[in-house]
Amino acid sequence: MPGEDGNPARWQDELYDLLRRHNVIQFAYVPDAGHRILIDRSLADPGAQSVALTTEEEGVALLAGADLGGARGVLLMQSSGTGNCINMLSLIKGGHFPFLTLVSMRGDFGEGNPWQYPMGQAVEPVLSAMGVICLRIEHPEEVVPTVSAALTMVFQGGNAVAVLLTQKLLGAKAF
Amino acid sequence: MANDYPQGVDMAAAIAAGFILDRRDAVPKLIGRHEDFLFVTGLAGTARDIAALTHDGAHIYTMAGAMGGACMIGLGLALARPDKRVLVATGDGELLMNIGALATIAVLNPANLAILVVDNGHYGETGYQKSHTSLGVDLEKIAAGSGIKRTRTLAGEADLAEGSRMLREGNGTAFVVLKVKPDDPPPYKRNLDPASCRVRFRGALLGAG
């Protein structure tokens, strides 16, 4: 999936390094093309724990457990997966757990698949309703500063934050 | 005793189907020294079982919502703390709500994680409606089919000693189903505030801050 600058690998590698510098260890994911490099790097990293989920809500609970044990993690998912997380976010909101998720957007800028619109367009209102702060990224140069801000908001500020990697950033999948 | 059973429960049928043990007796026997574990529990029944056993200790995190999360909270905790034994105690209904978690856990297979399903075949908290395990679903087979190699169903007193060993040792995740009568858990009132329980748990495990 090419970004606007035609080089998605660079910001994705920088993003992985940034997460690891901030002691993010548990990488939970449902596979998605937008997160391919993060997933592959976590699988190849002996210092990381890569957790393949069957559904995204598992990752919400996983990260609460990681926090109980003093570890940091991130949930990597596609916009459609946010809908699978909603009631489990009761745990995050009610328990004041720190929570970081990176969401690769579909049903967004230039989307050609009509099935992706209902959940894609509902991501922000639904996450906001459950107390998750949403930060959108549209340009590659915003990735590192935005995720740096999110890491501070989550692990120092004690918040739940979703960073939305938009289709302006990722490019729309061709159909 | 017959008249003391929860309303609507067909106890004779449950016992005939193998739901025989008394959870108030069997759960403490199976777990033994509770201080040896960090606990994550499901809602309602198992939360009360473990809160009563530990006097709502700082080494337990009990749920009262977010149904389906217990096993995965346990996995996150077990991965974060390989030096500790993590015991997830949950019910058949709570496990069934997110049964795919068994596949996720089996792939990683952490040796310090054990899952205890206190299976009464019913949704006790909502009026003892039958759950799928009263209607032919076998949780141990699902766990084994998911790839968890150490599985066992405990149906009688004689099985408890082996079950205890499985929860405490082994080279991979253990999955133990404890079949119990559809009867009420201990009437223990625990802390229901998920945020204060988080602070309590982390404070005890990680120290201040």
**Chain A residue numbers touching B43 (CB-CB < 8 A):** none
**pLDDT tens for residues A63-98?**
999 999 999 999 999 999 999 999 999 999 999 999
Q: What's the confidence (pLDDT) of residue A171?
A: 86
pLDDT band for A3, please (50, 70, 90 cuts): very low
pLDDT band for B185, please (50, 70, 90 cuts): very high
Q: Is the pLDDT of residue A174 over 70?
A: no
> Choosing among A62, A72, A97, which should be mutated to test the B contact, i.e. which has the most B CBs within 10 A?
A62
Q: Please judge whether A65 and B76 are an interchain contact, meaning their C-beta atoms are less than 8 angstroms apart.
A: yes
DSSP string, chain B: -GGGSPTT--HHHHHHTT--B-HHHHHHHHH--GGG-EEEE-STHHHHHHHHHHTS-TTEE--SSSTT-HHHHHHHHHHH-TTS-EEEEEEHHHHHTTTTHHHHHHHH--TTEEEEEEE-SEEGGGT-EE-GGGTT--HHHHHHHHT-SEEEEE-SGGGHHHHHHHHH--SS-EEEEEEB-S-PPP-------HHHHHHHHHHHHH---
**pLDDT tens for residues B187-209?**
999 999 999 999 999 999 999 54
Query: How many CB pairs lie under 8 A apart between chains A and B?
Result: 120
Architecture field, domain A8-170: 3-Layer(aba) Sandwich (3.40)
Q: Is the pLDDT of residue B1 over 60?
A: no
Chain-centre distance of CA A168, in angstroms? 16
> Choosing among B77, B112, B146, B202, which should be mutated to test the A contact, i.e. which has the most A CBs within 10 A?
B77
Q: What's the confidence (pLDDT) of residue B146?
A: 98
pLDDT band for B4, please (50, 70, 90 cuts): confident
Q: How far is A73 from chain B (nearest CA, A)?
A: 9
**pLDDT tens for residues B79-128?**
999 999 999 999 999 999 999 999 999 999 999 999 999 999 999 989 99
Percentage of chain B beyond pLDDT 70 is 98
Q: Domains of chain B (ranges plus CATH)?
A: 2-204 (3.40.50.970)
Q: Is the pLDDT of residue A175 over 80?
A: no
**Chain B residue numbers touching A67 (CB-CB < 8 A):** 76, 198, 202
Q: Is the pLDDT of residue B48 over 90?
A: yes
Q: How far is A5 from chain B (nearest CA, A)?
A: 36
Of A52, A71, A95, the CB nearest to B198: A95
Among all residues of chain B, which has the CA nearest to that of A71? B80
Of B65, B76, B84, the CB nearest to A64: B76
Percentage of chain A beyond pLDDT 90 is 89
Q: Please judge whether A65 and B80 are an interchain contact, meaning their C-beta atoms are less than 8 angstroms apart.
A: yes
**Chain B residue numbers touching A25 (CB-CB < 8 A):** 80
pLDDT band for A4, please (50, 70, 90 cuts): very low
Tell me A48's DSSP state. Answer: S
Among all residues of chain B, which has the CA nearest to that of A156? B209
Which chain A residues in 97-156 lie under 8 Å from chain B, judged by CB atoms? 97
**pLDDT tens for residues B133-155?**
999 999 999 999 999 999 999 99
Query: ipTM of the assembly?
Result: 0.96
